[in-house]
Every structure is written in C-alpha cells, then in structure tokens.
Structure 1
C-alpha cells in the first residue's frame, strides 16, 4: 500500500511540476570566491536535489512561485541554509560556503555561530563575546564571567580570582587559552589565573564533565578562552582601551595594533593596570576572633599592578592556516597583611597605612610566558589541526622571615635563599594537541590526542609541595551522528595515562628526633612515583522537535588525577593558618554526571532550564583532624587529604522576556546541593559550595544612533549554612549593580563609553566562595568602573603587502 501511495504521489508531483514554468539557478563559492563543485543542494520540503558542477552552478526547473528553503552541504565546508522568494523565471542566487576548519573558528565571521555551537553540543555551553566582557568588566576575566548562571569565582583581593563551575574549581575546572591548557599554580586558593581579559575575543564555558575531550582536570567543566579575531584583509587597525575604578583607585590601558594583507597578518596588544588597596564597607574585621581595625576602610597591602604583552602573526589560507601566539603576563600584588603568616597581630599597621598604593610584604609576583603554535590543514573530507605549546609559570611569594617549630631564630646568611623568599614555584610545560575532524555521510567524527609534560621546581625557606615531574597523554574518538533534521546523537570514548613523580625533600634546618638530643634534617616528602590510567565515555542527544523547542541530554564518566599537593603536601598554609598533609595512597577521582537542558523560545519569551546530577565514588577533600603540629606549624591544626563518596545535584534557570522593542527583562537563577556520603565528614557539604541565587535584570536598549543601553541588576543570594568545618556560615544578601553605555562620534571616529556601578548600595556582605570569607572579610564596597574603547580601522589595499 505504501508503494502504491508513493507512486501516486510521485505522478501527482510530476504532473503538477510540469505545469509550472519557473526556473531557479545559483552559484556556490568558497570563502576565496572560487567555485565549489559537487556541493549537495537540497530544496527543502520538495524532495528536489542537485549537485553543483565544476563551475559551482546548479539549477532547478519547473518550480512554482513562492518561498523556498535551500540547504547546501559539502565536505570540508559548513552546512549553509538560506531562505529565498521565487518571483520570476530565471531568478539567480549566490551562496558562499565557509570552511569547516575548527581550529580557527575565531577568524570566521558568521551571524549565528554561537547558537549553532550550542545546538551542536549535548553539554550545557555558554558563549560570550567581547561586548559581554566590556559591559561587565571586572578586576579579572574570571570575575567578569561571574554574572553567568552556574559560574562563580574565588575572589583573591581586587585584581585576581579563580573560577568555579557549579561549585567545582581548582584542578577540577580546566582553562584553555588559544587551544592549549593554561597551566599555572591553580591548586592554590590564593593563586589567580594569569590571563588578560582585554586579549580575549570570545569565551566558551562548558558546564559539566568534559574529560572526554579535554582529559584530566575537566571533571567539573572547562573555560575555553579564544583569541581576538585577526584584522580584516587589506587593512591596518588599532584600538585603545582606557579603564578606571573608584574603589581601589585603579587605572589602566590596553592598546592593540595590527595589519593584514590578503593572507598574512600580524598584531600585538599591550596592557597595563595599577590599583591600590581596596575598600570594604566596615571599619573592623575579625581574623580568627582577633579584631583588626582598618584605616579608612582599606584592606592594607592589597594594592597591585599588571603588565601584559601579546604578539600574534600568522597565515590564513583557504586550505591551510598557521598562527603563532607569544604572550607574557606579569602580576604583582600584596596579600592582606593581617591575614597571612602565623600571627595576624604582628603587623606594622603604621607602615602599611602610610600609602594605599605601595606593595609591601607579604606579596606575590607571577610571570607567565607562553608560546603557542596553532595549525590547520584541510584535505578531502579531513580537517587536521595541531597545537604546540610552551609555558613557563614563575611564581614567588615574599614575606618577613618568622621562625616556627625548630627553625633557627635568625635567618642564616649562608643558606643561599633570599631572606624574604617564602616560597617559589617554577613550572615548565610542553603541550601537544592533535585532532582530525572527518565528515562522512551523517557522521562527524573527531579523533584526538593530547599530551603534556610538566617540570616543577620549588625554592624558598618554607615547604608545602615538593618538586615534581608530570606526564599525561590521552586519545579519544568523538562522533556526532545526524539521525535526521531534528535529532543529533553524540558518543565519545577516551583513554588516559598519567605519570606523576615527586622528589624527596629534607629540611634545611635540623630538628631533634628523640630525648637524647639527636638531631636530623627531617624528611618532609619522600620520593614517590604514581601512575594512573582511566577510560571515560559520554553519550548524548540533541532533539529539536519544533522551531521553538530544543532539548539536550548527556550522561558520562570523567576522571581527575590527584595532584602533587594532594599526594605529598607537608607544611603550613600561611593563608589559612593550618598545617596540610598529603595522602600518597589517593586514587584518581571518578565522576558520573547526567545533564539535561530544555529551551523554549516564542513571542519574545525565552526559557532555558538546565538540571544536572553528579556522583563521585571517591571525591578528594581536605579533612581537618584532631591533631596539631608543633614541629613546623607552631601548633596549627593538621588537615589531611582524604576521599569519600559525594553526591551533587542542582541546575540553572534562564528566563527572559522582551517587553517592547527597547525593554527586556531577565531572570538568572542557580541552585546546588552537595553531600558527602561517607568518610569523616559524612553528611556535610563540600567546601566553597555556592548558595542558591537569583539575578534579576532590566535592560533598556533602544534601536537608535549610538546604541545606548542602561541595565540594572539585582542579585539575591541565599544563606549558606551547609558547610564543612572550619568553614563558617554566611548569611544571605542582596546586591545591586548598574551598567550603561553609549557610542559617540569624535572627529568621525567611534568612541565606546561604558559605565558600571558595582555594589550600587554599598552593601556589606560576605561571598561564600571568596578566599577571604574564612576570616569574615566582607566584599568590596561601592565601585564605579568607567571604560572607554576607541577602535580604529584603516583600509589600505595598496600599502599593505603580503
């Protein structure tokens, strides 16, 4: 019966089509204007198909007058869909296909690439561009991203922060910069990320287990920082950014310059920022029950400076691309003087309070040098890309020498270590990533390999983590299968191997070991070599049953190797007044996670709900014990790394409503619940667990000259009483912020002006994910941020040569 109906329908269609006299023809070209042959052209909804010839041309005859949707596909190019209105016989159209090369997506200018990226991933993905970064400019890139639901930060003063995704951070969130994993000292709560937010072109946040692509450290998610787009062909360009903040007297500038011929290009950026001690809305803070008076509400010794340099050069061809990035970032900042060391009362307040801009001890300074080579080549149905990376992260922490335990009372001048050098970490990193994207039929396959080698050395008169070498390597296969126009299936499998070799460390001073007075240079960390192997997987689906509805689901397994600190730490953490000990028997963390996402958009409404469930059979955490160390820790409580079963669930809600052509309302909400199911802290939450929050926004942005906008945020944060000792409970709060912007023309040059007022009402509150929250230190008070961006582009086809 089905065959008969099909034949009848076919005959009806042919007889109907023959009665029409309209012809549609077109030409398909690539990005360089060259014709694309053998491209598959489909007239959707009609069953009509055609392939382009050598000249890239195609045609359809005997069509009725009306509207049509055309889809063009070709291996090596992105699928293209366009709408046309056929109104006359012989009508012609031109279609341009963009290369499907993945490594240099940032050079492609497309109107819907963000939505397409979200639609083609089964994990929850957020993508923000430069406009978002400028509107929400914070003291660091991670602080700027904090406005997104599911993203929090551990604030470290006013100039640095580290990310949390759904409550997971440190080495559980991977940060990728220009295709290569950013490697700093991310294991420390006081260690920020050495990234220049002015040099970020676009940032992609993957919420959920992403180990199947990125490997270890992406067990909680990934943040992919993409570079700025290169200059347009045959142009020279420059831009100047100016920025100032009222709270800490911050000022800075970032200047970009560059040019491009047809294929070759080069550009550079230099950034400088300087800031003073920041203010909090209180006159007194309590550092572990000791009252500390603040001079004019300033946190003494929290000033800092930042200097960054970026150089880029490359070749952008139709089939081959190669780009070289060289960058150096330098940060120097003080630690809050009353919250570092062994005794918060032994602080020369008068010396620190004489100036709000000097950077005294205790302080940190970090230099991160990076070279990345990104290359891509397209041949046939394959898109091969490779990244080679070298990084050196050199971090030093300085403090006045304070003896404790059996350390000598006077620092010996023969030691060979500067007296002020408390700790030094020197990391060399060599990276290699290779991927092959292969489109065949309904499959889009990705085969990949990641390899990394680290060489970590230490110095200084204190000890926490030993020197170590680390080698990791992983290979994966990832398939996206287009079942039909509405359904996309995902499946991935990955294998990883890791080797971590830690070096022995002995004290530079002797300690008594028995009552007879025998002394030894005690062994603080032994030689240790651990190997880890893991197989992870992921399966998912994208289902779009209607234009207004989109559904996602993903389940998978991820893993994370324990780090050197978790295995071999044995020293004082001067920021938490604690003594930390590693556990050399720890196994690699395993995680199982299910993610869902449902989106609906219609008539000015947009709703996205993204719940998740996460289970760790062996989560690694730092457990406070009943022991106290008197050899090295001056009687501080001992904390030791252990493992337990952990359950987590929660989600995000995004709701927006376009009230009028100029007025939009938005609600962003997030919730997380975590619980330890075994171990010494059974029944407790996890550290730095963010409380539930709701952000309400109203934005006025009329369609008129200058693109003006005014946006008001009000964020309500619930109390967090589910803690892990020695954490302290935090009360709920509400905080308001204002953003506004306008573009003016000065001497025929656009100038973009942005204004923010953070903590508009100067509210006194404590952020549960803040680094200083343990000493009940409130967040920064009212802060007015003004920024100005002046882009300059000069077309010059004659003087810019290859």
Structure 2
C-alpha cells in the first residue's frame, strides 16, 4: 500500500504602504524558499499561495525606498501582512561636470590659444593677474615691486600686447615700464591668451598677442549668494579680502564685488643693492617704500533671455603704492633711511596713485543665423606720481610759490577713452563669417612739474571680415582682412622755468595720420587620431604712440633722457605660427614654433649724447626704426602616470636680432632667456574629508641671458622651487576652497631679466607663503 499525504494549502494576503500609509504600487515581493516573485498592484495589494505550517523569508524592494525583509510562519489558511517601507535618502558621491570649451576653442582657432580658468587663478595667485599668468610658457612679466606687473608675450610687451576686459580694450598708461595694469584678478572669471599677432580682429597694438579677461558667468536662475575670498602673504605681510554677492531671478541679475589688499615692503634675499655702483644697504632685507594699498569695486547687472542679453559692467580700481626709494630720481644717496625704516607699511615719497574707472555695456541678440554684438565702453585712467622736488639742470633751486602745481606732484596723466565695438557673426552652410567694426577715441591730459610725454588725443577706427570655412570634418580654413585708420595729435609743451634766459619748447604741435591693411590665413587639421595641426600666416601693424613720436624728458626710473621721433611710420609685422599636438589617454604633447619679421621695429636706441639741461649727464636715448627677425617656440608635455599622478614639462625659447640700424646684430630689450618648468602633481578625487585635494611641485630652470642690448646687463641663470597645495572641505552643504603656495621655497637669490629693477641688479622676492580661502554663502553657490 502507498499512502499520499497532501499538505494543507494557505494564502498570504498583504498590503505595502509608505511612511504616510499611502499604498505603494510596483513593489517587488519575493519569497526566497519557493522562488516566487510578484508586484504589488495599484492599491499596494499582493497575494500568493503557499504550503501551510511552514516559515518563509520575504523581501520587498522598490526604487527610492529602503529594501525590507520579513520572516513569516504560516499557521492558518489565510495570513495577512502589512508592510511599511521608508524612503531611501542616498547621498551620491560628488559629480564633476566638465565642458570642452577650452579644447574646442583651441581646435577652431588657427592662432595659438590658451584658456585659463578661475581655478587656475585661485591655485597660482601672484601679486597681480599678469604675475599669475606668468606660469604659462611664452608669458612673462615686467615686475614692478610686489603688487604690479606688465605682460610680455613671446618677448613683446607695452603697446604691442592688447589687454581686453569684458570685450573692451583696457587703456591705461601701458607705455611705461613702471605702470602696472589696473585689473582685479579676483574679478576675472576666465582669461584667454592669444600668442602671436592678432591685429586682424583686435586692431593696432595686438602685434604681439592678446590677453582677453572675461567676467564670471552670470549667476544661475533663482540663485542668491556669494563668496568671501581671504588671502595672506608672508613676504610682504599682505592681508586682503574679496567679497562677492550675487542674485538672479529668472532674467534679471546683479553680481557685485569688493576687493581690498594692504601690503608692506617686500623682502629680497640680499642685504645690499648696487644702485649704479653706489651700495645701498637694506634694513632686514626689506625694499624700503614698496608698500601699497589696493581696492576694487565692481557691479555687473543686466537682463538675460533665450536669444538676447544686455549687461552693464561698472568698476573702479584704485592703487596707492611706493617706489623703491633708493632707485628713483637722480640722488639715491639723499634717501633718509632712518625715516623710511621706521615702518614697513607706510607709503612715503616717491609714490604713485592710480584710479581706473570703467563702464561697459555688452549686448547680444541672436536673430536667425545672425549673432549681433555691441560693446560700448568708457574709461577714465587718472595716474599721479609724487616725488620730493629736487632741481635738475636749469630748474630753480627752490620751488616757486607762484606755481599752481603741488610741489610733490612730479607727473600726472589723465586719460579718458570712449570705445565702440560692433560685430555680426553669420552662420551660413559651412561658413562662419564675422564682420566687425572697432572705434576708439582718447583724450590725454598731463600735469606736474616734470615732463616726459606731451598731452595728446587719438582716434582710431577699423573694419574687418573674418571667415571660418569648414572644408570637412577634419579641415577648417581661416581668412581675414582688415583696414584701419588712425589720427594722433600731440600738443605744444613749454618749460615752466627758463633755460639760459628762455623757456624752451619741449614738444610742439604734431598731427599724424596712419592707414594700414592687414590680413591673415590659417588652417586647422584635426583627424580622428591623436595628432592635430594648426598653422597661421599674416600681417599685423601698430600705430606709433605719442611717447615714441614726441617724448622729450628724463625718465627718472631708468636714469635716461628719452627723445621721440616725429617721423616714425606704423610698425609692420609678418608672422607665421604652427602648433603641432599629439594627445592620448596618458600623453598630451604640444609644440608651437613661430617666426616673426619686422621691416620697421620701433625701439629706444642709446646714443653717445649726454643731457645736462634737465639732468646730471644722463645718456640720451632716441626712438628709431630697425629691421628685426624673431623666432622661437613653446613646448608642453604632460604624462599621466596614474589617474591621480601626472608630470608636466613647459619649455620656451626666443631669439631676436636687429638686422639694421645702429644696433644691428643685437637683440631687443626685455628678451626673456630660455626656460623650462618641471611639474609633478598628485590630485586624487578624495583623501579622507578632503575633496579634490592636490599637491603640486614646480621646478623652474632659467638659462643665463648673454644676448643683450645696452644698457641691459647680462643675467645669470637660476633655478627656483615652488609648491602648491589645496583642497575643498565640506561644511554642511557647502564646499570651502583652500589653497596654499610656497614661492621660492629655498629663498634663492636670482635676477629676472625682464624685471623693471634689473638695471640695478635687484633680485626677485624671497620666500613667500600664500594662503587663500574661498568661502561660499547663500541659498545657492552655483555660478
């Protein structure tokens, strides 16, 4: 006989709800032992049949809710189960969104372009924006103390480099080596650098390159907040802050910023400086009277919609700083060192004050295939240089009481600039055509008991057409043509004191008109492999400035007498640029050679004449023209050893030679020597509580510079170590950004060939520890 026993069948009924007892649909219910699975219905109900008297392990899961398990022993024919699930609050790891704007910008321009982000500026903060950018190959600065500097691109600077701020050409007193740029680096959102001539778009003065300073992006919609930047530097005891406050509804926004920096005299790694063979001792290595104060006020406001925007940018930047007391004027021996050394933070004579006020409106409108843009700008640059009155040459021994000019006002420059840029970018099939107009008018007044450059006004206007033609997915062609007209008027200046019985005329009325036609051709080749190529050839120009035409006075900073040449022609330049790039997952290599030829380079030529009318036998320098050949290049190599570890080499080389004139065979002033920067960076995604930490070490080797032009001196080579470190730290829902730099780690004594103070063999600043913190606040810190 066989006996079959059938187990009793039971049914499990259940309901799944959320924390508020609302039914949950589509919850996956699984019974592990029986391999059963089903989903809850629209009312949260489910049911299935099982054998009675057994124990079952049940699991419940649904996206957005915490998984749940239940163990149930079936004791009756029907079992009822009530399940409540809780919402899962999962915190995702940090997500980084990166755009390819910088890469695409490089790929679509035939010029050598570098795009510098705000993060780069934060990580490499220098004494000024130009000092911060000098880490890049091909970019150097003419340092003026600890707080100011002027840019050099491939050895060209002053009025051969255009600096634009929010689309408008920044106009200060850029012709002077001791005149820094009145730009607040905390207010820069991004900086684009063009190495090489770019006159076909930017007009006169872009013969050496362009530094385009762009504003921060408008705040995100419905955001209110800001940032507080704090900075401190050990070398000159700098303390500073920059406070940013922004708000935006859907279309209207404002973005404001206040910056203040206060610094003392800076230190150099030497206790004695030779000022034209006169030894000057330094008190505790401080350069007396190099302290300064800087403030910046900024307000950006405007309207943004899908197809249009109009933004006003208002800024006022003010700086008050001292000149190294022992290197100004003709009597460095007369400096009262005891009085200067009482404090390292006071600003005494000689000193300078500069105020730069700026109003810019940028408007854009997209209509069909047209993108219309208009930039309107007004600038007022007011600069004063103060010094104790000392009679030179035939100047009276005592300052006359009848003079209306203050006794300590050596020079004053008062410049007002009105600018207009118009552009229409048209996209038509494979063509992207830009047609534009640039116009500018300057009124330049002078005052002070010293004279170097006369008052003048200047008007320039230019039109251009620039076409980018997409020949294929791999080849992009460029062609540009531009015509410019300029007019410069300088005004008569007569000495306020007699020389041998008469007041001499230092500068007479002068009217000059200039015309120029320039062009550019380029190609981008980007195949579907690691290799890419860019090439560009073209012609550029530069109008001679008032100083080159009509200067006639002592430059006390250089102990020289400078004399202009009213017959100078517009400077012409022919250039060829090539960029070869190779990029893989681990390697990134870029080589950028260039060649540059000037038929009539304008330069300041030292002569055998000496001046005794206005100085103490200073050498006379005349502006002349010469044929010049220049070539060189930059090399950038980056290798990713691992995901968080990389090495980089940045190298640069420049050779310049005058081919005609009195200095044939010599180089050009401020020609930087070859140099290379070796970098090792460790940057993991996270390290404990630190987010995106980094540790970076720079080792810069600079060769000696023996290729000079008098009165320059040969500069020995040197090597310097720098360290950068930083991280983000979460404080609640916000990220604090910390960065630390140690510049000149070993306190190395070295001379910078492009420094303003190189003529007196003044070494660069000693060890400098820089700490900066960026603290966000508000409902949203997204910009």
TM-score normalised to the size of structure 1?
0.85
Distance 2:254 2:203 in 1: 32
2:532 to 550, 558, 562: 550
Which runs of structure 2 are paired with 1:323-334 in the superposition (5 Å)?
323-334=311-322
**Mapped contact 1:504–1:526 kept (Cα < 8 A):** yes
1:786 aligns with 2:771: yes
Distance 1:320 1:248 in 2: 46
2:441 maps to which residue? 453
1:367 maps to which residue? 355
Q: Deviations over 1:222-273 (max 9, x none)?
A: 0000001111001101100000000000010000001001111011000000
Which runs of structure 2 are paired with 1:681-700 in the superposition (5 Å)?
681-700=663-682
Distance 2:722 2:550 in 1: 43
How many pairs were matched up?
A: 683
Which runs of structure 2 are paired with 1:669-748 in the superposition (5 Å)?
669-704=651-686, 705-748=690-733
> 1:290: Cα distance to partner?
0.7
1:750 to 735, 738, 743: 735
1:639 maps to which residue? 621
**Mapped contact 2:225–2:781 kept (Cα < 8 A):** no
Distance 1:161 1:735 in 2: 20
1:530 aligns with 2:512: yes
Q: Deviations over 1:749-792 (max 9, x none)?
A: 32111000000110000000000011000000000000000123
Distance 1:699 1:315 in 2: 41
2:494 maps to which residue? 506
Secondary structure of the corresponding residue to residue 771 of structure 1: coil
Secondary structure of the corresponding residue to residue 279 of structure 2: strand
Secondary structure of the corresponding residue to residue 381 of structure 2: strand
Distance 2:546 2:521 in 1: 32
**Mapped contact 1:301–1:356 kept (Cα < 8 A):** yes
Q: Deviations over 1:522-559 (max 9, x none)?
A: 10001000110000000000001233111000000000
Q: Deviations over 1:338-394 (max 9, x none)?
A: 000011111111110000000000000100000000001111111000000000000
1:416 aligns with 2:392: no
1:593 aligns with 2:581: no
1:648 maps to which residue? 630
Secondary structure of the corresponding residue to residue 445 of structure 2: strand
2:226 to 213, 235, 238: 238
**Mapped contact 1:231–1:237 kept (Cα < 8 A):** no
1:772 aligns with 2:757: yes
1:614 aligns with 2:603: no
1:575 maps to which residue? 557
How large is the Cα RMSD of the aligned pairs?
A: 1.1
Distance 2:370 2:585 in 1: 41
**Mapped contact 2:151–2:157 kept (Cα < 8 A):** yes
> 1:676: Cα distance to partner?
0.2
Secondary structure of the corresponding residue to residue 340 of structure 2: helix
Q: Deviations over 1:152-190 (max 9, x none)?
A: 000000000000000000000000000000000000000
1:604 aligns with 2:586: yes
Cα gap change, 1:796 to 1:422, in 2 (>3 Å): closer
1:221 to 179, 193, 209: 209
Secondary structure of the corresponding residue to residue 229 of structure 1: coil
Distance 1:796 1:604 in 2: 33
Which runs of structure 2 are paired with 1:3-152 in the superposition (5 Å)?
111-152=99-140
2:87 maps to which residue? none
1:169 to 154, 157, 175: 157
1:661 maps to which residue? 643
Distance 1:749 1:260 in 2: 19
1:357 maps to which residue? 345
Distance 2:438 2:376 in 1: 10
Distance 1:775 1:315 in 2: 52
1:160 aligns with 2:145: no
Secondary structure of the corresponding residue to residue 708 of structure 1: strand
Distance 1:135 1:607 in 2: 23
1:249 to 224, 234, 237: 237
Distance 2:571 2:632 in 1: 20
Secondary structure of the corresponding residue to residue 511 of structure 1: coil
Distance 2:250 2:472 in 1: 39
1:336 maps to which residue? 324
Which runs of structure 2 are paired with 1:311-330 in the superposition (5 Å)?
311-330=299-318
Distance 1:254 1:143 in 2: 18
**Mapped contact 1:234–1:796 kept (Cα < 8 A):** no
Secondary structure of the corresponding residue to residue 277 of structure 1: coil
**Mapped contact 2:405–2:449 kept (Cα < 8 A):** yes
> 1:793: Cα distance to partner?
4.3
Distance 2:778 2:314 in 1: 23
> 1:110: Cα distance to partner?
6.9
2:181 to 167, 189, 193: 193
Distance 1:470 1:719 in 2: 41
**Mapped contact 1:765–1:778 kept (Cα < 8 A):** yes
**Mapped contact 1:571–1:633 kept (Cα < 8 A):** no
Gap regions ≥5 residues in structure 1:
1-108, 513-518, 798-802
1:389 to 358, 366, 377: 377
Q: Deviations over 1:659-705 (max 9, x none)?
A: 00110000000000000000000000000000000000000001215
Q: Deviations over 1:559-606 (max 9, x none)?
A: 000000000000000101110000001111000000000000113001
Distance 1:742 1:441 in 2: 46
Distance 2:566 2:413 in 1: 21
1:484 maps to which residue? 472
Q: Deviations over 1:471-494 (max 9, x none)?
A: 000000000000000000000000
Distance 1:749 1:454 in 2: 46
Distance 2:535 2:778 in 1: 44
1:516 maps to which residue? none
Distance 1:588 1:749 in 2: 54
**Mapped contact 1:717–1:732 kept (Cα < 8 A):** yes
> Which sits farther off after the overlay, 389-398 or 343-352?
343-352
1:77 maps to which residue? none
Distance 2:477 2:217 in 1: 31
Distance 2:700 2:521 in 1: 35
**Mapped contact 2:226–2:781 kept (Cα < 8 A):** no
Cα gap change, 1:588 to 1:112, in 2 (>3 Å): same
**Mapped contact 1:493–1:536 kept (Cα < 8 A):** yes
> 1:745: Cα distance to partner?
2.1
> 1:748: Cα distance to partner?
3.7
Cα gap change, 1:297 to 1:232, in 2 (>3 Å): same
Distance 1:448 1:795 in 2: 38
Distance 1:617 1:267 in 2: 47
Distance 1:486 1:530 in 2: 46
Distance 2:623 2:528 in 1: 49
TM-score normalised to the size of structure 2?
0.87
1:398 maps to which residue? 386
